[in-house]
Structure 1
Amino acid sequence: MAIPFELEHSIDLLEQLVNTPSPSGYTAEVMQKVAGILEEAGLETRKTNKGAVIATIKGQDDDRQRLITAHVDTLGAIVKEVKPSGRLKLDKIGGFNWNAAEGEYCTVHTADGRKIRGTILMHQTTVHVYRDAGTAERSSDNIEVRLDEKVFSAEDTRKLGIEVGDFVSFDPRFERSDSGFVKSRHLDDKASTALLLELAASIRKSGEELPHTVHFYISNNEEIGFGGNASVPEKTVEYIAFDMGAIGDGQSSDEYTVSICVKDSSGPYHYGLTRHLAELCKKDGIPHKLDIYPYYGSDASAAIRAGYDVKHALFGPGIESSHALERTHTESLEAAARLLRAYVMSPLVEE
């Protein structure tokens, strides 16, 4: 019996996840939601000290195990300074350019639990006042948050409970088109997370027995470089990072296939495991592309750097305009889900 795939359920999960703010370092709420989804499907979960969530499905072979990770933390910002004007100076969380966030609505999450709305803008936004409104550098010195509160000074802002160190999340603006596109901030990596959660639930529901034990590892620090690099179960021999495919000039990845990464900034992924994934796609007729992501790192590469002796590979849906206004297509989501299912039912790579 094949493991079923429910596209609509996956997209519903994705919408729930992107609408739950989770910039790296501020992920307690989303991790609680992830654990709840897995437990509702009948899976036991455990939480690591860093806050990641792991669920395990035992297979026929419990001695040589697999781990598949997706990360649910996102880009965001943190309050660097409360300005004399009452506006906020920001510091980035994760790697993005300020022009990708300029003009976005946002939420400031205060230490006492308040959620205060605002907009990320250039200080020199008003073209009727600032001659350099279009040419001024998009930098932390010029970007600020205009709060939707009546404030005229730093003291006014602090009375709202806002202080240095408060997290700032960006509105996702989730939208699904009739033509099959799904666009939103934070598809990296909540699209893959939704597919992985749906897979775990489908295996449990179907009762299909896996050839090897699989750990489903939802990490929460990938965007800052150290997600998935600890608490890897000791019997793990294959480690898959289920993450986005990067699209752009010179890339083969697109929004309609699953992207398999052969190399990123950390170096090549394991040759045998990568070829195994490509052969599974050929065997099952899964639309796929092999690619190199030049400015990219993953939970799998972080685990290798941490010293884990595992075969590692990376694949996932193609995401257009990564770390900005992202988009993918249901065809890419389906292709990625099909490869996930083929992989967990396949034999281990022996070479």
Structure 2
Amino acid sequence: MSRLAIDHEYMLSVLEKLLQIPSPTGYTDPVVRFVSRELERQGLSVELTRRGAIRAIRPGKRESGARAIVSHLDTLGAQVKMLKDNGRLEIVPIGHWSARFAEGARATVFADGGGYRGTILPLKASGHTFNTEIDTLPIGWDHVEFRIDAIARNKEDIERLGIEVGDIIAIDPQPEFLDNGFIVSRHLDNKAGVAVALAALKALQDEQAETPVDIHFLFTIAEEVGVGASSVLTHNVASMITVDNGTTAPGQNSDEFGVTIGMADQTGPFDYHLAKKLATLCQENEIRYQKDIFRYYRSDSASAVEAGADVRTALITFGVDASHGYERIHTHALRSLAELITAYVVSPVMITRDFKETSGVKGFTRQPTGEARQELSPEVEDEELGE
């Protein structure tokens, strides 16, 4: 076995801290600073892109053919669309999530002078006033508003508070860490993935593990709006593993336990050889796993490839129930993912041709094309042969 022991308490502690840091897309500076400090505490130097995506390189035996582990720091949120005459805020979503899950959410709107607390409410929220109309109001972002917990009776009051169109709104996570291992919270996508990556790094550092190539730990800041890992990769990276959430919903094969290996998302299949390697590592290291395909889902891998990065990509996920809503995961999946990452980064590089960006056909990979021969029991094989 090549997997390393994971500091479970550290992983959950980091996750709890991450969940308390607001980081909707467009408002990620605070979480970038936190993760940067954590990486430096573990002994890595940190590089930031202009907007704040993080790159921290753990040296291996060689720079070329590097492997990358990527997860995203940004979460869903909302934004002020209009200051309303009734003293409330019209809002629009950041990222793709249903207003069904926004109704009743506690949140903070960030003005230049600081944050104001408030609640996202349906336009008709009082049963004593609207009676059964509160049950027939349509669901959608046009049918909710943000009630500010400050004196705001009209548009002029809102302006005096310093709240403006475009201000970012962070949704409270409301985390619960249960004794049976379940975790319920908003924004587990992808704060849990970040905690997994940091826990895997800690295991590597604690064991002073050697890797055949450099390992790039990457943390992106705009995955929820489709940008993701589009501008954080270097040309040294040959393969990239994205750590994100999988959906445990009807019609999906994901699970809240073990690793779920994504075989394809809405942009198409992931790399055949990299996905196969991950499954083999799970088998060799006795890590529970399953495979799934996500038809309405994209990740950092998609944004990297669409931006022109010629890297092998794969997706490993922790199963999430009610993704982009009140999400639920289990710590078993988080530990399994961290173990798989450690097994992967210390494993030998099998496709050495990938050390170069381009080369000839010699050493190029192969995929099975012949007809598979069914393995038969001796008794059945005798019958097939007519003996």
Partner of 2:144: 143
Shift of 1:140: 2.2
Mapped pair 1:124 → 2:118? no
C-alpha distance in 2 between matches for 1:126 and 1:349: 63
C-alpha distance in 1 between matches for 2:192 and 2:46: 21
Three-state SS of the structure 1 residue aligned to 2:214 is strand
Three-state SS of the structure 2 residue aligned to 1:243 is strand
Q: CA offsets, 1:296-350, max 9 Å, x none?
A: 0011111111111111100021111100001111111111111111111112352
Mapped pair 1:52 → 2:53? yes
C-alpha distance in 2 between matches for 1:199 and 1:334: 9
C-alpha distance in 1 between matches for 2:97 and 2:3: 40
Alignment of 1:64-83 (within 5 A): 64-83=65-84
Identical columns (%): 38
C-alpha distance in 2 between matches for 1:279 and 1:80: 49
Q: Is the 8 A contact 2:55 2:217 kept in 1?
A: yes
Q: Is the 8 A contact 1:276 1:349 kept in 2?
A: no
C-alpha distance in 2 between matches for 1:158 and 1:243: 39
Mapped pair 1:288 → 2:289? yes
C-alpha distance in 2 between matches for 1:199 and 1:45: 17
Alignment of 1:144-183 (within 5 A): 144-183=145-184
Mapped pair 1:225 → 2:238? no
Partner of 2:30: 29
Alignment of 1:1-351 (within 5 A): 3-112=4-113, 114-130=114-130, 131-350=132-351, 351=365
CA RMSD in angstroms comes to: 1.2
Shift of 1:203: 1.8
Three-state SS of the structure 1 residue aligned to 2:195 is helix
Q: Is the 8 A contact 1:265 1:297 kept in 2?
A: yes
Q: Is the 8 A contact 1:3 1:208 kept in 2?
A: no
TM-score (norm 1): 0.97
Three-state SS of the structure 2 residue aligned to 1:98 is coil
C-alpha distance in 2 between matches for 1:231 and 1:41: 21
Three-state SS of the structure 2 residue aligned to 1:218 is strand
Q: Is the 8 A contact 2:204 2:342 kept in 1?
A: no
Three-state SS of the structure 2 residue aligned to 1:55 is strand
Three-state SS of the structure 2 residue aligned to 1:256 is coil
Q: Is the 8 A contact 1:317 1:336 kept in 2?
A: yes
C-alpha distance in 2 between matches for 1:280 and 1:208: 17
Q: Is the 8 A contact 2:230 2:304 kept in 1?
A: yes
Q: 1:211 to 1:100 in 2, by over 3 A?
A: same
Give the stretch that moved more between structures: 330-339 or 9-18. Answer: 330-339
C-alpha distance in 2 between matches for 1:124 and 1:180: 38
Three-state SS of the structure 2 residue aligned to 1:341 is helix
Shift of 1:2: 6.0
Q: 1:318 to 1:178 in 2, by over 3 A?
A: same
C-alpha distance in 2 between matches for 1:160 and 1:348: 57
What letter corresponds to residue 178 of structure 2 in structure 1? Answer: S
Q: CA offsets, 1:88-135, max 9 Å, x none?
A: 1101100100001110100011122x1110011101111222242112
Q: Is the 8 A contact 1:174 1:183 kept in 2?
A: yes
Q: 1:207 to 1:158 in 2, by over 3 A?
A: same
Q: Is the 8 A contact 1:121 1:145 kept in 2?
A: yes
Q: Is the 8 A contact 2:190 2:245 kept in 1?
A: yes
Q: Which runs of 5+ in 2 are unaligned?
A: 352-364, 366-387
Q: 1:349 to 1:99 in 2, by over 3 A?
A: farther
Q: Is the 8 A contact 1:118 1:145 kept in 2?
A: yes
What letter corresponds to residue 345 of structure 1 in structure 2? Answer: V
Q: Which runs of 5+ in 1 are unaligned?
A: none
What letter corresponds to residue 8 of structure 1 in structure 2? Answer: E
TM-score (norm 2): 0.88
Count residues with an aligned counterpart. Answer: 350
C-alpha distance in 2 between matches for 1:145 and 1:256: 37
Three-state SS of the structure 1 residue aligned to 2:33 is helix
C-alpha distance in 1 between matches for 2:159 and 2:98: 28
What letter corresponds to residue 145 of structure 2 in structure 1? Answer: E
